Structure 1
Amino acid sequence: MKINYFLLLLTPIALLASGGEGSGGTDIFPRTVNFLIFVSIMYYYVANDLKAWYVGRKNEIATKLDSIQVKLKESNSKKEIALAKVEEAKVNAKNLIETAKKEAVLLTEKIAQEADAELSNLEKAFQDRMAIEQRRMQREIISNVLDEMFKEGSITLGDDEMVKIVNKKVA
């Protein structure tokens, strides 16, 4: 490889040995050869560094790409976990709603039963109160009738007749 470079360096000498300034041609060919020699020399000194930089850059990009792919896989797995949790939460919410509806039905039934029991207690208390009031009114009426009878003195009854009258009123 170094021999090729050396021969490349000697080529302009061989090409320009026969010509001079008075040849009257253009100097494009010698300039092209000089440029190629310059590029070859630069390649000789810089090629390894450029290759190393290129390989390093390529490895750096590959590493970044790998880390991005790992992060993508992690985020996809986290997304799947989150979606599973969302579905689980939806199922739990449905179960809670069903449970709440059942509890509401049970509570309404319980309240209805308690209200019915309270109504029956109130009705019984009302019936008892009515019976007490009827007895009180009967006593009052008997008392009023007897008071009138004794106040006026117009009716004279015997003890037997009074007992019969009182028994009739009480019954």
Structure 2
Amino acid sequence: MRRAPASCRRGARGWKLCDQPETAGEPKRRAEIVDPRRPLLTNSRGNPWTASGFGASWRTELIRLGLRPERNDELEPGAFRPTFHGLRHTNATLIATAVARNPDTFGGIARVKAMLGHMSEAMARHYARRAEVEHLNAETILLLPEIGNTPAWIGNNPE
């Protein structure tokens, strides 16, 4: 198979994007080297995102996806309102749940803390405890018999 030369351009922060020829299993573009001393997420001018700039971009994307109305007065009371913090919280809970289900494999609380970045030990424990409780509750529900039916293992069951 003949490959066309890749066209590359340098980004505002020194990284390079290359359009690769389309072949099975290869991405069309790849970032080569990212300087760890520079911000990973930047705006269109190459500057770090500010809280308000990120919030505006987040809101625009939610509107584009149909997850939020364009105007605040169109928000219905009690309607689902996705937030970026909510995504982080969900991610933290999913990580902690995986660790709670198999702490020997996943490394326990230290792994939760490491995967979530600059989180304090107390915050890692918060997510881990919540995940452990949810895991135990899910297991407990599986142990409960159907409501109103006596399980077969409790003698004198007509079944």
Q: Same fold (TM over 0.5)?
A: no
Task: Tell me which protein shows more strand as a share of its residues.
Answer: 2
Rg comparison, structure with higher value: 1
Which bracket does the TM-score occupy, shorter chain normalised?
under 0.3
Q: Which structure would you say has the larger RCO, counting Cα contacts within 8 Å and 6 or more residues apart?
A: 1
Task: Tell me which protein shows more helix as a share of its residues.
Answer: 1
Give the TM-score, by structure 1 length: 0.19
